[in-house]
């Protein structure tokens, strides 16, 4: 699979004020299914928060009526597993946070628009630390 280029839309910034970085292409995520947590006004869910899936969050999400683990082939959705990176709706992440179930966040891949719902100081507390290669 070809990886989208980060410069597709240099105007899209992350929560740190830098050009947004890719969240995931395996599985492919994002409102546009281009790997980025970018959005527009037609995305009522605001899929702007790049998260690392955990068992506790996936279980929590299923209990809230949003099963992210079951594949839906007709929508080319493979189902998520622990460790996958995925663009979550900012309101859903905030709800999970308030319930003590929020997954870690990739700040460099989370769109600045998420700050309209979630404070930066909260996102920083949940920042995912990527292993150095």
All domains of the chain in start order, with CATH: 20-125 (3.30.56.110)
Residues 82-101 have pLDDT tens digits of 999 999 999 999 999 999 99
Per the CB < 8 A criterion, the answer to whether 110 and 50 are in contact is yes
Q: Name the 3-class secondary structure at 63.
A: helix
pLDDT in the model for residue 133? 56
- Higher pLDDT, residue 83 or 10: 83
Tell me the two tokens of residue 11: 């105007």
Assessment of whether the complete model's pTM goes beyond 0.75: yes
DSSP class of residue 74 equals G
Residues 97-129 have pLDDT tens digits of 999 999 999 999 999 999 999 999 999 999 998
């Amino acid at each position: 699979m070809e990886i989208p280029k980060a410069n597709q839309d240099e105007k899209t910034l992350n929560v740190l004020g830098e050009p947004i970085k890719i969240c995931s292409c395996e599985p492919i995520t994002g409102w546009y299914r281009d790997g980025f947590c970018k959005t527009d006004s037609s995305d009522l869910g605001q899929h702007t928060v790049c998260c690392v899936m955990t068992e506790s969050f996936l279980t929590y999400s299923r209990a809230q009526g949003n099963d992210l683990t079951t594949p839906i082939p007709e929508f080319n959705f493979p189902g998520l597993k622990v460790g996958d990176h995925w663009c979550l709706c900012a309101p859903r992440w905030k709800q999970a946070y308030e319930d003590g179930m929020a997954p870690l966040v990739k700040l460099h891949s989370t769109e600045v628009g998420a700050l309209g719902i979630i404070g930066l100081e909260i996102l920083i507390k949940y920042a995912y630390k990527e292993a150095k290669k």
